[in-house]
Amino acid sequence: MTDMVTVCECFARDGLQHEPTFVPTTTKIDLLETFASAGFRRIEATSYSHPKWVPAFADASEVLGGVTRHPGVAFKATCPNPRAVERALADLDRGVGAEELSLLISASESHTEKNLRTSRVRQWQRVEEMVTLANGRFRLVGVVSVAFGCPFEGHVDPGRVAEDVARFVDLGADAVTLGDTTGVATPPTVTALFKRLERAHPGLAVVSHFHNTRGTAVANAVAALEAGCRHFDSAIGGVGGHPSKIGYGAGLTGNVCTEDLVSLFSAMGVDTGIDLDALAAASRACEEALGRPLHSMVARAGFHRSAATTV
């Protein structure tokens, strides 16, 4: 298989929101620079969440103001509400803003109430307001959380997810992310949903965002790849999950490990544009930043030996 995919590195946002200890701003900036140097073209840098609820990102503006802008590299910030977009706009006006914004929706009512402290109806109203505020100044990424199942309600109707995706498309989103928030997706459900969305929205950039809570994230990513997906979220070391002050789910709630995903794609002949030696160095830097070994299998065993550079 020869193809090109885009992997968005999410360590600095989805990864760090689960950490109970604040990571210094300078460390975050250094890591973002490391990710860009490794070849990541999309990097989730921070969130404009309220510091009361997600204190890990109290330094969002400082982080975005400290990173070097690299040609062809887009930094992304998460915006849960209109106030967050206003902050993103203020940073953009200062010349230090993000290139992309993620706008959040949960596919279930219960997860919406727990994660966003509102109803689905009200959150969609806020998303519409956020799109208006953004006024075309950012690339907008709609995010549908718990797209494959909810920790509170269980089964999520794929039809509802499809409707949410269509609504984001109608609002002008440039891409839509499907979040398997607590790792309940399976390859057959992934294949069915990605093919359904491709039929409904040919050419739409649908991003896979799989958590490895039940050990299925890499298998689900391959299923998405084979169903036509070419955009993937991941986090070095498999870190991440719900914000540390907003608990749900159990076990290791982190993302699919970037090292493991990129290693497998490389072995399959899928081009990620990521340098394996630089990724290995970034993996070590992330472990040093958090002060512990993380969850990547490849970080322990080494990258799969192929025609690509090995470690």
Mean pLDDT, residues 151-166: 96
Using the predicted structure, report yes or no on whether residue 193 has a pLDDT greater than 80.
yes
CA–CA dist 13, 222 (Å, integer):
24
Show Cβ contacts of residue 309 under 8 Å, excluding neighbours closer than 6 positions.
275, 276, 277
User: Does residue 91 fall inside a structural domain?
Assistant: yes
Using the predicted structure, report yes or no on whether residue 311 has a pLDDT greater than 50.
no
User: Does residue 307 fall inside a structural domain?
Assistant: no
User: Does residue 306 fall inside a structural domain?
Assistant: no
User: Does residue 191 fall inside a structural domain?
Assistant: yes
Q: Are 64 and 97 in contact (CB under 8 A)?
A: yes
User: Does residue 309 fall inside a structural domain?
Assistant: no
* Residue 250, pLDDT score: 65
* Residue 115, pLDDT score: 86
Total tally of structural domains belonging to the chain = 1
User: Does residue 182 fall inside a structural domain?
Assistant: yes
Domain span at residue 147 reads 3-301
Residue 113: is it exposed, middle or buried by C-beta count within 10 angstroms (0-12/13-18/19+)?
A: middle
SS3 per-residue string spanning 185-196: CCHHHHHHHHHH
Using the predicted structure, report yes or no on whether residue 307 has a pLDDT greater than 70.
no
% the chain with pLDDT above 70: 94
Q: Are 233 and 205 in contact (CB under 8 A)?
A: no
Q: What is the dihedral of CA 29, 83, 150, 171, to 10 degrees?
A: -100
Show Cβ contacts of residue 164 under 8 Å, excluding neighbours closer than 6 positions.
105, 107, 142, 144
Which CATH number fits the domain that encloses residue 154? 3.20.20.70
User: Does residue 308 fall inside a structural domain?
Assistant: no
User: Does residue 126 fall inside a structural domain?
Assistant: yes
Mean pLDDT of the chain: 94
pLDDT in tens, 45-101: 999 999 988 999 999 999 999 999 999 999 999 999 999 999 999 999 999 999 999
* Residue 57, pLDDT score: 97
